[in-house]
């Protein structure tokens, strides 16, 4: 530690999953997205935050936790399903410990997984009482974590904004959900997919949002040109503060070729006993219909550009993480030294990532963060960790400039969410949005209980249809059937209710069942569309 602070580094981890909740069946593999993220990302992050706090390391990190993720983490049924998932994994790991006695290196790993999943169960059930939100909230209350919000269902603003009320509702419900779970007003927002449109600024301000995270060119192409580039925030004419992603540091982590996660000692994501073990042996632990899927038990390291993979070695992986944390640490120091020659205020290096990169894709990522944060605290260092909120409190003089319309998707604009594979969806989203506004205008402030329930459910269905995830999945080409089905289901349910409301013929039984399935945003008020 020293006092010669020349700049700041701000980590922002975006934690998001689309709302997947199927009380009617256990067969949906997509529910496992949540369970994998809990075991591989959320619990490891919480564990490492706790370790840092226990070791009295002063650190700062920012996380966005999206409303669908919060609602899923709070959902009793999904909590129980996660416990079932862990029980399966513990059972499988035990079998693995027996099966792998023939090779000591393998056996060490089997035992590691048995211990890991048992510990997950303990942390989940006994420490956090099945609700991880309380864990994240604890670190926010301790002052080391700043949690920000997101659009209600991760709806992509650059597509929705041609009906501005639908963007306003995404923001309103995002803020409402945040307040419900964290008991205070969010200061910042992670714009879904970093999709920035200036039309949203006034609504973000209306609901008390101070700052947003944008892609690098959201700042670099801003008007007028920001004099500090991405190394200081800008404030839009409507008063929204925008931070831009630092290019150099994000490439170091993300690059497919020389990014950190590709280190040869790291765990190989694509080798999983779900695909490799004897079929009859693994069958109870893969998809219910017998399709092989990831189990999370992986025994190999990346090794190199070869199919001939070597066994994973826990210590080697840690060594690599430590080496890379050192590299990142040195690179930021050099970067800040260079920048301080050209800037008359301390730069902020903003490092936003998908939270699920840490642990799920890059298994060693949470450990890397832990080591890095310790280094920043203990070693001689010219920068400090900071949250965007703290930075604007410290440096409230901000250049006025309009951020550039942008996103963090491929090529920086809207192609991922608007291209020939998924462009058939948009008219349905737009029509449903217009119809929702029409409903709110036709039946304002109703006191009829059933009608109100139906109108609120319409709002839920519309929001769920708007998740950017479905469009992304269609573009990406995996799990496409599920994404298409979800769009059809939510637009279908919305449309059915829309006509039932207009015909004054609401089917209560249908309404209740749909609510049971799409159990999100209990407190929503359809009047946000008025």
Partner 1 sequence: MPRTTKEAKSKLEEAKKTVKNTSKTRAKETGKTTTTKSTTTKKSTSSKATATKKSTTRKTTTSRTNAKRKASNAARTTKKESVTSLKKVKTATPEDFSVLEYYDLPNEYNKTTVKLLAQTPTTLFVYWNISDEDKKTYIKDYGENFFEITKPVLIVYNDTMNYSFEIEINDFANCWYLNVNDSKCKYRIELGRRPINNGTIQNNSIKFNTNYIYIGASNQIESPNDHILFDKNQKTVYFKNIKTNNISSKSINFSYIRKIGKIYNIYDMYKKFYKNEIIENFDLSNPSSSNPSSTFK
In the region spanning residues 289 to 308, those forming contacts with partner 1, defined by CB under 8 A, are 289-291
Count Cβ atoms within 10 A of the Cβ of residue 119 and give its class: 0-12 exposed, 13-18 middle, 19 or more buried: middle
Backbone angles phi, psi at 214, to 5 degrees: -125, 165
* Cα separations in angstroms, 479 against 15, 37, 422: 20, 17, 14
Total interface residues for partner 1 by CB under 8 A: 143
In the region spanning residues 194 to 253, those forming contacts with partner 1, defined by CB under 8 A, are 210, 216, 220-225, 227-231, 235, 239, 241, 247-248, 250-251
Compare residues 269 and 377 and give the one whose CB is closer to partner 1.
269
User: What angle, rounded to 10 degrees, do the helices at 449-465 and 164-182 form?
Assistant: 100
How far is it, in rounded angstroms, from Cα 43 to Cα 31? 17
475 binds partner 1 (CB under 8 A): yes
Shortest CB 155 distance to partner 1, Å: 13
2 binds partner 1 (CB under 8 A): no
Task: Output the six-digit token pair for 219.
Answer: 């700042």
Query: Which H or E element spans position 482?
Result: helix 480-502
Compare residues 52 and 494 and give the one whose CB is closer to partner 1.
494
In the region spanning residues 253 to 282, those forming contacts with partner 1, defined by CB under 8 A, are 254-257, 261, 269
User: What angle, rounded to 10 degrees, do the helices at 314-340 and 247-254 form?
Assistant: 170
Shortest CB 171 distance to partner 1, Å: 19
> Quick one: which of 7, 10, 14, 466 contacts partner 1 (CB under 8 A)?
14
* Cα separations in angstroms, 146 against 26, 68, 484: 35, 19, 35
413 binds partner 1 (CB under 8 A): yes
Compare residues 186 and 229 and give the one whose CB is closer to partner 1.
229
Compare residues 33 and 370 and give the one whose CB is closer to partner 1.
33
In the region spanning residues 57 to 116, those forming contacts with partner 1, defined by CB under 8 A, are 76-77, 79-81, 83-84, 87-88, 90-91, 94
Pairing type for strands 7-15 and 383-385 reads parallel
Task: Output the six-digit token pair for 182.
Answer: 């964290």
348 binds partner 1 (CB under 8 A): no
Please count the CA atoms within 13 angstroms of the CA of 30 that sit on its side-chain side.
21
How far is it, in rounded angstroms, from Cα 438 to Cα 427? 16
Compare residues 461 and 525 and give the one whose CB is closer to partner 1.
461
Residue 330, C-beta contacts closer than 8 angstroms, at least 6 positions apart: none
404 binds partner 1 (CB under 8 A): yes
464 binds partner 1 (CB under 8 A): no
334 binds partner 1 (CB under 8 A): no
310 binds partner 1 (CB under 8 A): no
In the region spanning residues 501 to 530, those forming contacts with partner 1, defined by CB under 8 A, are 503, 505, 507, 509-510, 512-514, 516-517
22 binds partner 1 (CB under 8 A): yes
How far is it, in rounded angstroms, from Cα 64 to Cα 353? 10
142 binds partner 1 (CB under 8 A): no
Compare residues 157 and 181 and give the one whose CB is closer to partner 1.
157
Phi-psi region of 309 (alpha: psi -120 to 50; beta: other; left: phi over 0): beta
Shortest CB 1 distance to partner 1, Å: 28
> Quick one: which of 46, 175, 398, 459 contacts partner 1 (CB under 8 A)?
398
How far is it, in rounded angstroms, from Cα 193 to Cα 485? 22
From 365-373, 381-389, 478-486, 521-529, span contacting partner 1 (CB under 8 A): 478-486
Task: Output the six-digit token pair for 83.
Answer: 């416990």
Q: What is the DSSP letter of 304?
A: S
In the region spanning residues 34 to 63, those forming contacts with partner 1, defined by CB under 8 A, are 36-37
361 binds partner 1 (CB under 8 A): yes
From 50-58, 167-175, 377-385, 420-428, span contacting partner 1 (CB under 8 A): 420-428
> What is the chain's Cα-based Rg?
24
Compare residues 237 and 444 and give the one whose CB is closer to partner 1.
237
* Cα separations in angstroms, 153 against 156, 178, 193, 469: 9, 13, 11, 9
């Amino acid at each position: 530690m020293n006092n010669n602070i020349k700049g700041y580094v701000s980590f922002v981890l975006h934690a998001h999953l689309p709302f997947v909740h199927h009380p009617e069946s256990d067969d949906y593999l997509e529910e496992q997205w949540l369970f994998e993220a809990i075991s591989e990302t959320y619990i490891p992050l919480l564990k490492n935050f706790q370790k840092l706090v226990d070791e009295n390391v002063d650190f700062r990190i920012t996380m966005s936790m999206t409303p669908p993720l919060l609602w899923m983490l709070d959902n009793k049924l999904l909590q129980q399903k996660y416990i079932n998932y862990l029980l399966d994994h513990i059972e499988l790991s035990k079998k693995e410990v027996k099966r792998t006695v023939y090779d000591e290196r393998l056996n060490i790993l089997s035992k590691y997984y048995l211990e890991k999943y048992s510990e997950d169960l303990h942390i989940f059930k006994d420490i956090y009482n099945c609700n991880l939100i309380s864990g994240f909230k604890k670190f926010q209350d301790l002052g080391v974590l700043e949690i920000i919000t997101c659009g209600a269902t991760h709806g992509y603003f650059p597509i929705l904004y041609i009906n501005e009320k639908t963007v306003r509702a995404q923001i309103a419900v995002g803020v409402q959900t945040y307040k419900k779970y964290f008991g205070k007003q969010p200061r910042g927002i992670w714009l879904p997919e970093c999709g920035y449109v200036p039309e949203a600024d006034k609504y973000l301000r209306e609901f008390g949002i101070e700052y947003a995270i944008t892609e690098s060119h959201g700042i670099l192409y801003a008007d007028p040109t920001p004099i500090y580039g991405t190394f200081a925030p800008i404030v839009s004419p409507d008063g929204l503060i925008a931070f831009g992603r630092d290019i150099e540091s994000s490439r170091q982590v993300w690059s497919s070729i020389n990014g950190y996660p590709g280190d040869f000692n790291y765990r190989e994501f694509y080798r999983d006993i779900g695909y490799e073990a004897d079929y009859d042996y693994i069958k109870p632990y893969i998809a219910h219909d017998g399709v092989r899927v990831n189990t999370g038990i992986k025994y190999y390291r990346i090794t190199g550009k070869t199919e001939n993979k070597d066994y994973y070695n826990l210590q080697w992986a840690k060594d690599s993480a430590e080496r890379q944390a050192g590299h990142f640490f040195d690179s930021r120091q050099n970067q800040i030294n260079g920048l301080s020659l050209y800037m008359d205020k301390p730069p902020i290096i903003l490092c936003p990532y998908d939270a699920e990169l840490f642990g799920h894709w890059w298994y060693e990522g949470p450990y890397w963060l832990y080591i890095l944060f310790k280094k920043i605290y203990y070693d001689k260092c010219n920068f400090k960790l900071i949250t965007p909120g703290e930075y604007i409190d410290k440096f409230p003089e901000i250049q006025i400039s309009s951020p550039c319309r942008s996103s963090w998707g491929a090529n920086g604009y809207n192609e991922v969410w608007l291209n020939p594979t998924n462009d058939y969806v948009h008219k349905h989203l737009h029509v449903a949005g217009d119809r929702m506004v029409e409903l709110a205008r036709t039946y304002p402030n109703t006191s009829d209980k059933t009608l109100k329930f139906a109108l609120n459910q319409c709002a839920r269905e519309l929001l769920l249809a708007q998740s950017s995830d479905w469009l992304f999945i269609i573009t990406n080409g995996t799990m496409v059937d599920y994404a298409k089905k979800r769009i059809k289901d939510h637009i279908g349910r919305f449309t059915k209710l829309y006509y039932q409301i207009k015909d004054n013929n609401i089917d209560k039984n249908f309404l209740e069942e749909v609510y049971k399935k799409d159990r999100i945003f209990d407190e929503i008020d359809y009047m946000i569309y008025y």
